[in-house]
Amino acid sequence: MRIRPRQQLLDLWRAHLHTSYRDDTWVWGGRDGRNAISDAEQLMCLLYPATELASFALDPDSVATSDDVAAVMSVLGDDIRIGGALVGMIEEFFDRYTDPDGEPMFGGGSYFRDVGHGEASTEQRDLDVVDAYSMSLSLCIAALRFLRGLQRYLHHEVRREARRLLERIELLMPVQGGPVRARLTAAMTGLIRSFVIHTPPFASPEGEEILALVNQTGAAVKDVIVDFSAALEQIRVQASNDVRSGHATDIDLRDNNLAFECGWSWSIDTRAGEVTEVKGRIATQPGYAVTEPYLYFTLVALDGIKDLYSQRTQEPDLLEPHQLQLAEALKRRAELTQRYWSTISRFGTGRWPLEDLPWRTSDGKQSDYYSLAVTAFLIQDLLDRESTTDLARTVAVLTQLAQRARILNREVPDDPAAAMHHPGITLTLKGSDAVNSGPLIGYYVGDFTTLMLKRSLQAARLALDITLREQLYDLAAAAMDHMLSRVISEGTAVGLWDSLAPGDPAPSWFLTERMMECLVVAHTTFSRPPLATPPMVERAVYRISEAEHLLNQEMLKISDAGSSPRRRQLAAIEQSLDRARAIMTKRPLTAESLAGDALLRLDALAYAREDATR
């Protein structure tokens, strides 16, 4: 399947509006009911492309100049009515997930699952979860950017409808404060207090698991400990210097007898300190999550933080001063975490721990999903450093994971790999049973294929070898085929995901939102210039040089000063070569083709002259 991100995003929007906007009313909820995460995912399916991709912008000016976007959005109305409808959705979301005291709510609700210990209690369903923090962070950034753009347009409108809409925007986003910025601050604070550094003794079960993971050569334990401590020395120092606010202070990061891992737990750490710079319950409320990083929650936290400090969000006054401080604190944690997992995945001199499938966590769990999550950390680290070092080995791991998950291979009856996609892996939320003596609850994660698709497309931006890039595009195409086979084909949610759940045609906003992210990544990847390596440019230069030399020779043989057919032919060839030289560093194969065509036409002229002479 060829990935066509623009058309597929428009198709997703069309299906989304058909499902969610009925009888002039926005209909919330999907397969998993309503909660702070699912509703944010439902809204993000519209707002994220509109604020990340200029050609999908939904302010009135852009809609007026983009016929295909206007056609899809026409169910909401025209002109500023589209903006008004989206403002109404944003208002409804923030009204529902803000309590009477003005405190944002981040409960996982129906996303919390029974993992064999009993259904979650009402108090447990209200527990904050990192997924809600991260999704709210991305949603608030998208909402602020959308509202600011619409606000600028409405300031020049005199219609009464525009003035009323402007007043509603100013309630959502006043000069300072307001519900959108309040939720953004709370989400950032929650992420800071959910960040954990886990330092079990090497002699503990967790420490032994970490040693077994990194010891791929069978070396003596004491030697592995020395090498492990040396490899992480700078990361420990960075953690000691940079991670202070919201973090437990009784951890010795310089003790080489302790193992080390960092990332995000599933919610606020039970040992988290207070964030004194922030007012509100989120900065001081007790945490229940165990002080251990979860790979899934670490991954979603990093994605949200990337949205926070990406280049496109560096707009004047988008963040308030105290939010800039929180954003900087999160950036330091994200960089530390990414560097840690990138280092640990490639530890040692032989086989990587990442290549020893499946990845094993410090609590003894193992899964191909964990391997894919660690691979995602490594790819993002390579992207941030614009490095191709170890990219080929990373792609080999991706390919092997795609085979094991039956993305490249055919699924067989009773295939255990099927559970990877539905219902997904089960995460046990350690510490959740401390809430009113309730049961231990869990969380399902079924985004293996979309994670594979997204990271393959991102890695393709790095590949300077055409074979490696094609391999990544083939992986992405296979993942896309797999996802297209899971599109809902009946009921009101036709065109959305996921058809694997039996007997329920309602959409999974968890998976649909991740497919939307993949298509945005594909759009960004395909918008970049094609591959232009030095050998490709060199080949183009050789052809252009020979063609220009032969052109100069032909020019020497023209004696007429007018516009004879021969002179017009040579002028056309010269124009073609000028074009080839102008694009040879960006599109060397196109330049080579233009030069090749010029060489053929010059040879035809030379042959015709020689034939006339004979």
**Dihedral (Cα; 275, 278, 280, 281), 10-degree rounding:** -10
- Lowest-confidence pick of 32-36, 171-175, 181-185, 287-291: 171-175
d(CA 72, CA 57): 13
Q: Does the pLDDT of residue 1 top 70, yes or no?
A: no
Dihedral class, residue 364 (left if φ above 0, else alpha if ψ from -120 to 50, else beta): left
Closest CA to 384 of 323, 449, 302, 448: 302
Query: What DSSP string describes 227-269?
Result: HHHHHTHHHHHHHHHH--TTS-S---TT-TTB--EEEE-SSSB
Is the pLDDT at 250 greater than 70? The verdict is no
Cα-Cα-Cα-Cα torsion 154, 72, 94, 432, nearest 10 degrees, comes to -150
pLDDT at 245 over 60: no
Q: How many angstroms separate the CA atoms of 471 and 452, rounded?
A: 13
Instruction: Tell me if the bond preceding 205 is cis, omega within 30° of 0.
Output: no
Q: What's the pLDDT score for residue 411?
A: 82
- 562: pLDDT confidence band, cut at 50, 70 and 90? low
pLDDT for residue 284 is more than 90: yes
Average pLDDT over residues 551-559: 83
**Cα–Cα dist 69/63, whole Å:** 6
Binned at pLDDT 50, 70 and 90, residue 599 comes out as: very high
Decide if 427 contacts 443 (C-beta within 8 A).
yes
Look up the pTM and report it.
0.90
Q: What integer is the mean pLDDT of 234-258?
A: 76
Of residues 232 and 613, more confidently modeled: 232
Q: Average pLDDT in the 460-481 region? A: 93
**pLDDT tens for residues 405-445?**
999 988 888 888 888 898 899 999 999 999 887 899 999 99
CA angle at residue 333 from 254 to 319, to 5 degrees? Answer: 145
Q: Tens digits of per-residue pLDDT, 116-172?
A: 889 999 999 999 999 999 999 999 999 999 999 888 888 877 778 888 999 999 999
Please tell me whether residue 332 adopts helix, strand or coil conformation: helix
> Taking 70 as the threshold, does the pLDDT of residue 65 lie above it?
no
Considering the chain, what percentage of its residues have pLDDT values greater than 70? 95
Distance CA 30, CA 43 (A): 12
pLDDT over 70 at 313, yes or no:
no
**Mean predicted lDDT score pLDDT of the chain:** 90
| pLDDT at res. 64 | 52
Per-residue pLDDT band for 257 (boundaries 50, 70, 90) equals confident
Provide mean pLDDT across the span 59-69: 70
**pLDDT for residue 108 is more than 60:** yes
